[in-house]
Structure 1
Amino acid sequence: MQNARDVLTPDSLTMLQVIAEAGSFAAAARRLGLVPSALTYRVRQIEDALDVLLFDRSARQARPTAAGAELLREGARLLGDIDAVAHRVRRVATGWEPQLTIATDGVISPHTMLELVEAFFAMAPPTRLKLRDDIMSGTHEALTSGRADLAIGVSVAGSDVAGLQQALLGELLFIYVMAPHHPLAQAPEPITDAVMLQHRAVAVADSAQRGGMTMGLLGGQDVLTVDTMQAKLQVQLRGLGAGFLPQPMVQPYLDAGHLVTKRVARPERRVRMHYAWGGPGFNAPGRALQWWLAQLQSPTTRTALLENHHRF
């Protein structure tokens, strides 16, 4: 009998993913250019080596068992690790990264990011860009887990991750806002936590896969949670809740009377935002990352990333 190392190859893990995506052995065999019997034999070899059943064959469809689903999850992670190794090897060889992944927090101006992307592509570099949207500690986690090469808008102070470097982007003031027809818009200032507790809060879910942060929420408070800062803004414009938002993001809505801000009894909330790069095994930035780091050295660019939320 073969052991697990013999059967858990990149090809076999990819094959299992194709079966799960296709939904049947016959459909997967067509995609892979194999006869169904050969595909079934290869799967049985893996099952025998692991001593588990990976797919439920009681129906015509191939449904992963609980063990199969776990192997698919871990297999996807292993294949990602292999791709990351190849990515690093190619980067060392050419100087230009094949792909540069940038994680940006929801407080970062999308307009300024796209202006930077335009300027980057104007050089016709060989590097592909991948932009990720993350929230709170998820932006930092994307970098430290290897899913991103550069993180813009990191609010986590410091890190004990070897090789990680960061620099100050700027400071953001978060203010408490709500729609003018929301009950809190008429409440006397400063608004205390006891008063806040009586009204629904709007929160953005931390995108970190492990742990995560919560900000400005009270125990026992009714909470509406959304995935992005833009969704939070839209929810609060409709009067469905109140919450803290970056002052540059909401200022035009305050000026137009679509939102109102209220002083709160708790201390003013200013958050120092950073950008970060590097991590385990990091030696020196490739040419693409060097370009982005050079742009971030500009005070004008850093300010625009935090404040340029509206185009008129």
Structure 2
Amino acid sequence: MASPKVSLEQWRILHCIIAEGGFNQAAKKLNKSQSAISYAIAKMQEQLGMEILTINGRKAELTEAGELLLRRSKTLLSEAECLEAAAQALYQGWEPVISIAAETLFPIHILMQALEKLGKSAPHTRVEIIESVMSGTIELIEKHAVDLAITANLPKGGSGIPLMDIEFTLVAAPSHPLAQQNEPIVFSQLAQHRQIIVRDSGEHRTGLGGWQKAEQRWTFSNLSTAKTALLNGHGFSWSPTCLMHAELEAGQIVPLQLEHKSRRKTTLYLTYPEIDARGPAVKLLETLLLDSIAEYRETLPKCLTA
């Protein structure tokens, strides 16, 4: 017949005895009688069929087998504590997971700053971030596929909290022909060169993504690969100035001078598929996100205003 399994409480008692230095000290720490502590260890050794503790004077010492089991049981106790904490978090109403649709235009370090703070208050809430573009964000909101969204366009009839303005500048690598001409560029000239575009991530792709009249286009689904193409001189682009700030400062890309205004601007909003369905983690993240934007307001490039 198989022997009864050792309980988590018995493992906790063993760890406490070793940490505190003896049975009496562990009894005080755990608010138990010394006889209860002694019985738990005696029963444990009986169940395991081996001696795990010896008494040297007044101090409890582990046997060789006991040292091995103590090391292995640390993981067991740690996982049990995490499980208990997660259950307590759910009992208190914290969401087990929240999903965020984040427009790729939004500076990701600001979101990460807010999420880092969220993790300290809600460590058992997992976070899923979906990087989306234009109508792709709207579709996620309308399908209730996310808990909150950062978007440049609000759903029809929807409302949101303005977060910041993102400015776009017409840019190209210094080696690009458009960057090397001295006179201002006219739109007819742009049409003769390749445009670098980030694709609308929506299924129906209703977003136009700015001026798209160039005969040649390279369309990417990811902003970072579009940036690589731009840096390597493969075309021009209307790019979010703040996300290109380092490259502009380093001269890796340069603004192109149009005959008419060559800067555009869009506002990013924080919105929800169902504002009344927000849980405590989502509500806290909203506060932390706004705090992070305010915190970085003075340090962010002038092209971004909160």
TM-score, length of structure 1 as denominator length: 0.61
State the match for 1:155 in structure 2.
152
The 8 Å contact of residues 295 and 301 in structure 1, kept in 2 or not, is answered as: no
1:77-97 per-residue CA deviation (whole Å, 9 max, x = no partner) reads xxxxxxxxxxxxxx9986322
Instruction: Give the superposition deviation at 1:112.
Output: 2.3
Distance of 2:298 and 2:111 partners within structure 1? 9
**Whole-angstrom distance in 2 between the partners of 1:143 and 1:250:** 28
CA–CA distance in structure 2, aligned partners of residues 304 and 125 of structure 1: 29
The letter for the 2-side match of 1:217 is: W
Closer/same/farther in 2, CA of residues 157 and 103 from structure 1, 3 Å limit: closer
Query: 1:272 corresponds to which letter in structure 2?
Result: T
Once the 2 structures are TM-superposed, how far is the Cα of residue 189 of structure 1 from its aligned partner?
Answer: 4.3
Contact 2:179 2:254 in 1 (8 A): yes
Partner in structure 2 of residue 286 of structure 1: 279
Choose which of 231, 242, 245 in structure 2 pairs with 1:248: 242
Task: State whether residues 146 and 273 of structure 2, in contact with CA within 8 Å, keep that contact through their aligned partners in structure 1.
Answer: no
Cα deviation, residue 265, structure 1: 3.6
- Hey, what's the Cα distance between the residues in 1 that align with 2:142 and 2:152? 14
Local SS of the residue matching 1:172: strand
Contact 2:100–2:128 (CA<8 Å) still a contact in 1? yes
Aligned pair 1:198/2:195, yes or no? no
Matched residues in 2 for 1:204 and 1:305: separation? 27
- 1:150 CA drift (Å): 0.9
Corresponding residue for 1:272? 267
Q: Does the Cα contact within 8 Å between 2:102 and 2:131 map onto a contact in 1?
A: yes
SS at match of 2:124: coil
8 A Cα contact 2:95 2:279, kept in partner: yes
Q: Distance in 2 between matches of 1:92 and 1:145?
A: 25
Give the 5 Å matches for 1:1-312. 95-152=93-150, 154-157=151-154, 159-160=156-157, 164-219=158-213, 221-267=215-261, 268-279=263-274, 283-298=276-291, 299-300=293-294, 303=297
Distance across 2 between alignment mates of 1:307 and 1:145: 35
How far 1:217 moved relative to its partner? 3.2
Residues 222 and 304 (structure 1), Cα distance of their counterparts in 2 relative to 1, 3 Å cut = farther
The code of the aligned residue for 1:150 comes to: L
1:215 positional shift: 2.4
Q: Per the alignment, do residues 232 and 266 of structure 1 end up closer, same or farther by CA in structure 2, a change over 3 Å counting?
A: farther
Counterpart CA distance in 2 for 1:245 and 1:208 is: 20
Please state whether the residue corresponding to 1:278 is helix, strand or coil: coil
Q: Which runs of 5+ in 1 are unaligned?
A: 1-90
Determine if contact 2:99/2:127 at 8 Å carries over to the other structure: yes
Counterpart of 1:46?
none
Please give the alpha-carbon distance, in whole angstroms, between the structure 2 residues aligned to 1:128 and 1:289: 11
Structure 2: runs of 5 or more not aligned: 1-88
- RMSD (Å), alpha carbons: 2.8
SS of the counterpart of 1:138?
helix
Contact kept in structure 1, 2:102 and 2:132, CA below 8 Å: yes
CA distance in 2, matches of 1:305, 1:274: 20
Residue 15 of structure 2 is matched in structure 1 by none
Compute the displacement of 1:307 (Å): 5.7
Size of the aligned set, in residue pairs, is 213
Distance 2:221 2:149 in 1: 18
Give me the whole-angstrom Cα distance separating, in 2, the residues matched to 1:158 and 1:305: 31
Distance, in Å, in 2 between the alignment partners of 1:150 and 1:301 is 21
- Kindly provide the amino acid, as one letter, of the partner of residue 185 in structure 1: A
> Structure 1 residues 98 and 307, CA, compared in 2 at 3 Å: closer, same or farther?
farther
Cα deviation 1:233-283 (Å, max 9, x = unaligned): 11100001111111112222122111111122454311111111133xx52
* 1:291 partner letter: L
Give the conservation status (yes or no) of the 8 Å contact 2:197–2:219.
yes
| Structure 1 segments (4+ residues) deviating >3 Å | 91-94, 217-220, 265-268, 301-308
1:166 Cα offset (Å): 0.9
Select the structure of larger CA radius of gyration: 2
Q: TM-score, normalised by structure 2?
A: 0.63
Q: What is the deviation of 1:128?
A: 1.6
